[in-house]
Structure 1
């Protein structure tokens, strides 16, 4: 009898031990799951939401047109005509404007822009890191739509040089991004303090007006490390102020860097992605290149007016087939998916009169001009 009692106690003890182990494993699993859930919530609160990658999206792909403007879109009437000739399932529009500015019937000539402004826009200053932050905000907003598979950054003075169908096919057929990128060998914009996060051999320069495939856009939006380096060490030198007298000499010795001409190019180089690029922009700019060394420091884009935006000049731009990069002794022949193509789809800087002439010459397709003139704002 005593032996049976001892045996039962032994069995009961082993059962209790097993139950304790199972309970302990269960508690451990619950703790792990809760911790993982909390970590995921924290990650989602500090990073962009989960996106559908290019490889897993199935549906009509769209081009996201990203307008970086001061307030309204000055040439919206021309862009309205451009989008009017396209399929609405093939494009989306995002506008980074001044904080609080709303695009509606009172501020835009084209319904395509109504309500397309970002709600989280920031105040942008030329030559400051706020410029590339605004670009990142545009890309982040556009990435929320998995249908957006290409991303075109445009200024408030950009115009299309072809109709929508041509632009869409040109961009979509290429698996590469179009990013003007070259070695910055002559100018002293690289700050040695950027090293080792940005080594000198990865420092690049180019036009900020880029056209990106989706995975490259994600690299830019997800970056925090290189952007923080730019914010700290890539800053525009203050302009000369005669009121400061001799202090200007000291100020002009400061390092001078223009973030938006370096950030995307350098970031993609650091990620080893240059082999996935057409290393050129599809946006044409005519620079006023003065002949003297002193004047070269003041190069600026020429603004096209009604007078100098005629058919002959537009044809000259469209006929450009290659770009020469002096610092690399490189000629970039313009291709899209290994096919020779005109280099440029867009151009800047165009005045309102120049844009109106493109409409009248039916560069982007037929449009009723009287309707536009009757709704002049």
Structure 2
């Protein structure tokens, strides 16, 4: 046989033996001796795809075993035949998938409450000296100045529901516990910050355990917290907006009284003050004057004319009659029993809230009228706060730095006569207002010499 004939015979026999063997190796299929051209092309494409998948799996296994094992195990668990051929799984991953399939389904997590937006900061009023103490917008519940909590503040710390607050305060003890040292609760009703805080800190210094401090300010105020050494540190109560001449001012006063009643059962006297108040005497004098008084200091008088009887609304009758209508200064000193009467009152306060509006000025009439109805003999019918109304108008006179002199302070301290526990005295005013922030330096300078502290 010639060489040419031998080559032709081998070429004719090759497709019948080589191709079926290749196909049997990759697919296990013993094909017929001959295939159409289209079938051959499809088989070649399948072979190329298979080789590509095997190469990709090899790379994944060598670079990141854990994710790959988890994924392939999942495929095995769901019966993927191709996964068993091209993606062999490790024993650990297969066991992990099997364990997850055997676990009971977990209950969905409850939705988390949304956090409300924080109030934005506002600029302090013009004229406030640098470094003056201010208060945070969301302080912790007040604790007694002596350091021990009575538990009352913990129950009401973040609650702004006035009705619930008043109900709790009405159940507070109406007298100081036997053997307890009586305290004076200083209630600061402010529009913003306390520019006179450094003066008050010197006034309180060295007398911890004999006083309590509570501050009600605008809820939008977002100033910094006073230092831990200050008497005002952490003393801001949950507050609401207050409008001048509006019933909201009386609501703020009741809110301060309620917190003071609940916070410390040793609070025996309750004094309302403003951000423009200053003390005229040292702390021992003020404390003794208040806790030893047999009367409360609140004006309550019948005044004819438009600014007195003219503010009475006939729709208040018969709960509050015209004959019971009284007027007085907003700035008061109450004992514990009368403070409890104020927070427990729903009858008269409801009438004032409905009918004492616009030009009625509830803060000048509610407490004087309530006192006249409930305890007319308990009042000294005077205020402990000196205010200058001689210039006329709806607001008292304001005093600047240059008006604060030694002679002026001495006149405020002893320039009047009054009665105290049935005796005549020239100590009639323990506090004075309205002093602008720029007068603070003068008070700090004169306090040691004139007022006996600092």
TM-score (norm 2): 0.59
Inter-CA distance 320–201: structure 2 relative to 1 (3 Å threshold): farther
Specify the alignment match of 1:276 in structure 2: 378
Alignment of 1:262-341 (within 5 A): 262-271=365-374, 273-290=375-392, 298-322=393-417, 333-336=418-421, 338=423, 340-341=425-426
Task: Report whether the alignment pairs 1:184 with 2:306.
Answer: no
1:349 and 1:319 map into 2 onto residues whose CA distance is 18
Q: Aligned pair 1:136/2:136, yes or no?
A: no
Deviations 1:26-63 (A, max 9, x none): xxxxxxxxxxxxxxxxx988712532221644311100
How do 1:32-181 residues align onto structure 2 when only pairs under 5 Å count?
A: 47-49=167-169, 50-54=171-175, 56-84=177-205, 86-99=206-219, 101=221, 104-105=224-225, 111-119=230-238, 121-144=239-262, 145-181=264-300
Residue of 226, 248, 272 corresponding to 2:348: 226
- Residue 313 of structure 1 deviates from its aligned partner by 1.2
Residue 169 of structure 1 and its aligned partner are, at CA, apart by 0.8
- Could you say if the C-alpha distance between residues 88 and 233 of structure 1 is closer, same or farther in structure 2, counting changes exceeding 3 Å? same
Paired position in structure 1 for 2:324: 202
CA contact 1:124–1:130 (8 Å) conserved in 2? yes
TM-score (norm 1): 0.71
CA distance in 2, matches of 1:108, 1:347: 26
**Do the aligned partners of 1:179 and 1:207 also contact (CA within 8 Å) in 2?**
yes
Query: Which aligned pairs between 1:232-247 and structure 2 lie closer than 5 A?
Result: 232-236=354-358
| Bigger radius of gyration | 2
Tell me the distance in 2 between the aligned counterparts of 1:234 and 1:307.
39
Q: Which runs of 5+ in 1 are unaligned?
A: 1-42, 237-255, 291-297, 323-332, 368-377
| Structure 2 residue aligned with 1:344 | 429
Aligned with 2:186: secondary structure? strand
Q: Flag the 1:44–1:319 CA change in 2: closer, same or farther, 3 A.
A: closer
CA distance in 2, matches of 1:230, 1:47: 19
CA drift at 1:277: 1.1
- CA contact 1:157–1:351 (8 Å) conserved in 2: yes
Q: Measure the CA separation in 2 of the matches of 1:288 and 1:109.
A: 40
* Correspondence for 2:151: none
Higher RCO by CA contacts (8 Å cutoff, separation 6 or greater): 1
Tell me how far apart the structure 2 counterparts of residues 110 and 301 of structure 1 sit (CA, whole Å). Answer: 33
Q: CA deviation at 1:89?
A: 0.8
Q: Deviations over 1:119-138 (max 9, x none)?
A: 2x110000100000000000
3-state SS in 1 of match to 2:209: helix
Alignment of 1:348-359 (within 5 A): 348-359=433-444
SS in structure 1 of the partner of residue 241 of structure 2: coil
Mean CA deviation greater in 132-141 or 178-187: 178-187
Give the match for residue 14 of structure 2. none
Q: Kindly tell me: are residues 233 and 108 of structure 1, through their superposed partners in 2, closer, same or farther at Cα, counting changes over 3 Å?
A: farther
Q: Judging changes above 3 Å, is the alpha-carbon distance between structure 1 residues 140 and 129 closer, same or farther for their aligned structure 2 residues? A: same
Contact 2:242-2:249 at 8 Å conserved across structures: yes
1:4-23 alignment, distance < 5 Å? none
Alpha-carbon distance in structure 2 between the residues aligned to 1:190 and 1:57: 42
The structure carrying a bigger strand percent of its residues is 1
Task: Give the secondary structure class of the aligned counterpart of 2:273.
Answer: strand
In the alignment, which residue of structure 2 is the partner of 1:35? none
Alpha-carbon shift at residue 262 of structure 1 (Å): 0.7
Q: Cα distance, 1:164 vs. partner?
A: 0.6
SS of alignment partner, residue 153 of structure 1: strand
Distance 1:314 1:257, change over 3 A: same
Residues 337 and 101 (structure 1 numbering): CA distance in 2 closer, same or farther, change over 3 Å? Answer: farther
